[in-house]
Amino acid sequence: MSSQDLNRAIQLARAGDKKTARQILLQLVQKEPTNEMAWIWLADTMPDDARRIATLKQCLKLIPDSQIARKALQVLESAHKPPPTVEKPSQPAVFQPGQPSPPPVSPPPAEEPAGFESLLLLRDEVVLPEEESQPPPFVQGEETEQEAFPLRGISDGEQPSVTPFVETAAIEQLRQQAQKVPPAPASVVRQKVSPVRWGAILGIILFAVVLGVVVFTLWFSPNSPLRLSGLQPLPTQLNYQPPQETPVIETQVIITPQATEEVEATEEVEEIIGTPPPPGIYLSGTQVNSFDWSPDDTFVVVSAGGGLSAYDPQNYGTLRYVDLAGSKALCRISPAVDRTVCAGQLLWAWSLPEWNLEIESPPPSGLPGSWIGMFDFVTSDLLTLVYESDLQSVEIWSLGIQQRDGDLLRAPSPIQRLTASPESGSIAAGLFDGQVIIWGLQTRQPIFQQSVLDQPVQWLALSADGKRMMTAAALPPVRVWEIPSGRLVAEIQTESTFTALAFSADGENILWADKSGVVTLQQVEDGSVLNRIEVGVPVREIRFSPDQTRIAVVTTLGDIYFYSLIP
């Protein structure tokens, strides 16, 4: 799918829709940080050179061996250097009457515009799709024409003379020479083609058409007499003989009974297959879009297969099903367990415990047709929303009055992760440039802003009291920070790369799953391993239960397993 997304983004960029292409490329480099072509095209879609330079620098951090990005960065940085100053001559040249004028000084050749047009040429070196020949507007400049003016130097023994008579005589001489040049006749400029020539041209065209029709009729036509005369007549009788059947040779098959060791091995396999699976919710391969656990541990909500289901976390029975019209929405439960909200193409809200539908409408803000890409509860009435059409803004929306609550919260780069701590009233956003910003709900001002990674933030979580924060990129390590001081509490080097991460409510433990399906519970302070669970299949998401005694594991096959952390 990455190549299809890259081709789609390139087509959008060539068609002029660089904003949509930029969103696709941002998601692509988030999934594949070492995709060099995605980084180069992402730089192409940036609106100015400053952001292109920042994008190329980020590419070189992830791909230090990228010669294309390095050369493109040198081209862009050299384009923004100030031009060198030109020293003026110490003494001006003076014309002397009666002496021939030296040849005119030709203007220096205009430098070719340097900028992102050179980046487009570099991109062609790696067999990228052909771009438009017209350079971008920011690299098109107007060259100033320099007038050639005859100058003559002054010898050592001469004194410069600047009398008005000398200047007037030179001007008068040039004027007389200009009057001697005869003007071009108007007949040469406005020469028309005579009717005779038009007739000859039309005659030649008509002759060519007639000649083509004759050639086609005589040779290429199916009924051409030349082709029919060259064909041989068909024979009057056809000597057809049907093919003879090949005799089948029958071979006796001897069946040998299986050995006793193979029978014993088969019995052992049957015993392994007969092991009961862990308790949980089985969705038969349906992809799970989101999973959330109610704070009172009475139910869980699962968004999968275009619908929303509520299950009992004790006996795993279905409590409620709601059709979301096929939408791949994200669903969350409010902190007070009085609402369930799903967001995607539409925004749904139900009041609990009756599950009465309160809201079913398109996203309240954003461009027409835009999706809600990320959201979370900051209180039971206020939502934090991030739209796919504007990944640098966080909107706080009230469910009670159904309108925006205050101004937008702005981020300096695209938001990759969004989370909130209702207990502390904190809103955290992990950014593409490796920064994390935390806003206070009361002041709507940043209480923490710091660069925590040299890569885009892929994982972000807050403790329940908002005093600790977990961050991670696509690769280890996992870092835990103290808020708002910004002190690094721990840096945990996991044994392998992870596919899912979770942070306990008290900020003391982390859960992580590797590619082989092993889930590890690890302590933050000393990094010691407290528990290991072999799931056996790749893991997509992990969640702690509200009392921190159980975990829910969402697999890539669509099944949800529940495990106890208490021996």
Give the CA-trace dihedral at 128, 132, 137, 139, to 10 degrees: 60
Domain boundary residue among 440, 473, 490? 490
- Tell me which residue has tokens 């207990």: 423
Q: Is residue 409 a part of any domain in this protein?
A: yes
Find the domain containing 73 and state its range: 2-80+113-138
Alpha-carbon 405 to chain mean position: 30
Label the pairing between strands 390-398 and 382-387: antiparallel
Tell me if residue 165 falls in helix, strand or coil.
helix
Question: What phi, psi does 447 have (nearest 5°)?
Answer: -105, -10
Distance between CA atoms of residues 377 and 297, nearest Å: 17
Q: What is the 3-state secondary structure (H, E, C) of 299-349?
A: CEEEEECCEEEEECCCCCCEEEEEECCCCCCEEEECCCCCEEEEECCCEEE
Distance between CA atoms of residues 324 and 342, nearest Å: 9
Six-digit token string for 481: 């920070």
Distance between CA atoms of residues 358 and 374, nearest Å: 21
pLDDT, block means (10 residues), the chain with 567 residues:
82 88 90 89 88 90 89 84 52 47 46 45 41 36 36 44 46 58 48 73 92 78 58 46 46 45 42 61 85 93 90 90 85 94 90 92 70 90 88 90 88 93 92 94 92 90 91 88 92 82 90 88 89 90 92 90 87
**Shared-domain flag, residues 478 and 520:** no
| CATH code where residue 466 lies | 2.130.10.10
CB 280 within 8 A of CB 560: yes
**pTM listed for this prediction:** 0.53
For the four alpha carbons of 87, 88, 89 and 90, in that order, the dihedral sign comes to: negative
**Shared-domain flag, residues 541 and 418:** no
Q: Is residue 97 a part of any domain in this protein?
A: no
**Residue 165, CA atoms < 13 Å, CB-side half-sphere:** 3
**Shared-domain flag, residues 339 and 437:** yes
For the four alpha carbons of 321, 324, 328 and 333, in that order, the dihedral sign comes to: negative
Q: Is residue 105 a part of any domain in this protein?
A: no
DSSP labels, 9-46 = HHHHHHTT-HHHHHHHHHHHHHH-TT-HHHHHHHHHHS
Which pLDDT score, from 0 to 100, does residue 493 have? 82
Six-digit token string for 558: 């669509």
**Shared-domain flag, residues 50 and 119:** yes
For the four alpha carbons of 152, 158, 159 and 163, in that order, the dihedral sign comes to: negative
Q: Is residue 18 a part of any domain in this protein?
A: yes
Which pLDDT score, from 0 to 100, does residue 427 have? 95
Peptide bond before 295: cis, by omega within 30 degrees of 0? no
**Shared-domain flag, residues 465 and 479:** yes
Distance between CA atoms of residues 418 and 406, nearest Å: 18
CB 350 within 8 A of CB 331: no
DSSP strands (E only) in 128-270: none
Six-digit token string for 50: 């400053």
Tell me if residue 236 falls in helix, strand or coil.
coil
Q: Which residues contact 471 (CB under 8 A, 6 or more apart)?
A: 430, 436, 452, 453, 457, 459, 460, 478, 479, 481
Which pLDDT score, from 0 to 100, does residue 292 have? 95
Question: What phi, psi does 420 have (nearest 5°)?
Answer: -145, 155
Which pLDDT score, from 0 to 100, does residue 49 have? 86
Q: What is the DSSP letter of 156?
A: T
**Shared-domain flag, residues 292 and 422:** yes
CB 14 within 8 A of CB 43: no
**Shared-domain flag, residues 44 and 123:** yes
**Shared-domain flag, residues 502 and 480:** no
DSSP labels, 378-443 = SSSSEEEEEETTEEEEEEEEETTTTEE-SPPEE-SS-EEEEEEETTTTEEEEEETTSEEEEEETTT
CB 427 within 8 A of CB 417: no
- Tell me which residue has tokens 């220096």: 108
Q: Is residue 336 a part of any domain in this protein?
A: yes
Six-digit token string for 322: 């709601």
| CATH code where residue 22 lies | 1.25.40
Distance between CA atoms of residues 273 and 44, nearest Å: 54
Q: What's the total number of domains in the chain?
A: 3
Which pLDDT score, from 0 to 100, does residue 294 have? 94
CB 473 within 8 A of CB 453: yes
**Shared-domain flag, residues 419 and 347:** yes
**Shared-domain flag, residues 392 and 508:** no
Tell me if residue 490 falls in helix, strand or coil.
strand
Distance between CA atoms of residues 380 and 295, nearest Å: 12
Six-digit token string for 209: 């058409």
**Shared-domain flag, residues 397 and 534:** no
Q: Is residue 177 a part of any domain in this protein?
A: no
Tell me if residue 78 falls in helix, strand or coil.
helix
Domain boundary residue among 442, 474, 490? 490
- Tell me which residue has tokens 């320099």: 146
Tell me if residue 288 falls in helix, strand or coil.
strand
Over its C-alpha atoms, the chain yields an Rg (Å, rounded) of 39
Distance between CA atoms of residues 285 and 556, nearest Å: 8
**Shared-domain flag, residues 424 and 345:** yes
| CATH code where residue 536 lies | 2.40.10.480
Q: Is residue 143 a part of any domain in this protein?
A: no
Q: Is residue 228 a part of any domain in this protein?
A: no
Distance between CA atoms of residues 62 and 50, nearest Å: 19
